[in-house]
Amino acid sequence: MLVDGEEDLVVLPAIMIAPDGASVVYGQPDEGMVHVVVDDEVRREVRALLERFEGDQERFWSLLEE
């Protein structure tokens, strides 16, 4: 995955494409390491957040399907 810009947000598409049960670990300022086990509920929460972002949503979702 190539990130141009806010690399700390790469965790969001990573969660969307990870298989069920996968572990995603990322750094959270003032928190330390965060561990997320991917499932449908986590994906729903991330999707709701991503849909609030500006930009070409259709292109974004099509890229995740590739």
Q: Helix, strand, coil shares of the chain as percentages rounded to 5?
A: 45, 20, 35
What's the pLDDT score for residue 1?
Answer: 60
In this prediction the pTM is 0.80
Tokens 């995603």 — which residue? 24
Torsion 2-25-55-57 (CA) sign = positive
Q: Are strands 23-28 and 32-37 parallel, antiparallel or unpaired?
A: antiparallel
pLDDT digits (tens, 9 = 90+) for 55-66: 899 999 999 887
1-54: per-residue pLDDT in tens?
A: 666 767 778 899 999 999 999 999 998 888 899 999 999 999 999 999 999 998
Domain ranges of the chain: 7-65
Q: Which residue has the tokens 């928190």?
A: 31
